[in-house]
Amino acid sequence: MASPTPVVLITGAAHRLGAHTASHLHQRGWNLVIHYRSREAEANRLRDDLNKIRPDSAVVIRADLAHPGDIDRLANKAIAAWGRLDGLVNNASVFYPNPTPEADADDWDTIMNTNLRAPFFLGQACLPALKECRGTIVNMIDIYSQRPLANHPLYCASKSGLASLTLSWAKDLAPEVRVNGVSPGAILWPEGEAAIDENYQQGILAKTPLARTGSPDDIAGAIAFFLCDAPFVTGQILAVDGGRSLNM
């Protein structure tokens, strides 16, 4: 008898690293629950593309991770899609500068709720299903969780908290659930309000031993390693940064 198809929920999966990870895991035979908040067209396009490759292998669910009620609804719908959940990738994140003199309570709530509170409570809501499947959680962290980026105190604090949560969960949820993290370096440059100029980009690359940006496939491959290929690995945070954390 063939093994059941594993199912993974990826938050923020409509674009950038989340979408690359979804496509990569789909190629590895996983069914996808694609979470999005505002990028409905992109999420639906990704779902449709994946379902053309393998029918009934991807669904989309909208949720605002800053709202507690949406988190429980997302978990319930994700589990109901195929009656199981083997993986949770906490990829969704908010990133923008907020120097301490200007940061306010709204900045705190926006960043902490999305980057730290949501992964905790989504993991909690998914935990019974993950335990039943002896599943895996992968948290998207950041190399700035260890060596903070100037003028991003709330973002760095949120990712440091997520790193600590990863290690705590690895201990507390074992042996049924493995928990690991991936810390990207320079992969895709930030967009919008968080965008950085070319000189700053070159400065980052100058501190990166491999002297280039990475590929989204590097992150997707690291996540897939933890989900698919590392049954005896838990409590690890893998820096995928071309060696930049050596020179920060």
DSSP the chain: -PPPPPEEEETT-SSHHHHHHHHHHHHTT-EEEEEESS-HHHHHHHHHHHHHHSTT-EEEEE--TTSHHHHHHHHHHHHHHHT---EEEE---------TTT--HHHHHHHHIIIIIHHHHHHHHHHHHHHHTT-EEEEE--GGGTSPPTT-HHHHHHHHHHHHHHHHHHHHSTTT-EEEEEEE-SSS---GGG---HHHHHHHHHT-TT-S---HHHHHHHHHIIIII-TT--S-EEEESTTGGG--
For residue 165, the tally of other CB atoms under 10 A from its CB is 21
| Closest listed residue to residue 219, CA positions, set 141, 103, 127 | 141
Domain 7-246 in CATH 3.40.50.720? The answer is yes
pLDDT in tens, 213-244: 788 899 999 999 999 999 999 999 999 988 88
pLDDT at 186: 72
| Closest listed residue to residue 239, CA positions, set 230, 248, 231 | 248
| Closest listed residue to residue 86, CA positions, set 12, 33, 21 | 33
Look at the block and give the residue holding tokens 């301490």: 100
**pTM, two decimal places:** 0.93
**β pairing state of 237-240 and 178-184:** parallel
Point out the catalytic residue in the list 36, 96, 144, 155: 155
149: tokens are 């980026």
Q: Where are the domains of the chain?
A: 7-246
Q: Which amino acid is at 95?
A: F
155 is catalytic: yes
97: tokens are 């500068």
Residues of the chain with pLDDT below 50 are 1
**How far apart are alpha carbons 119 and 103 in whole angstroms?**
23
| Closest listed residue to residue 119, CA positions, set 88, 144, 81, 94 | 88
Could you tell me which residues come within 8 angstroms of residue 98 by beta carbon, excluding any fewer than 6 positions away?
107, 111, 151, 152, 153, 154, 155
172: tokens are 């507390």
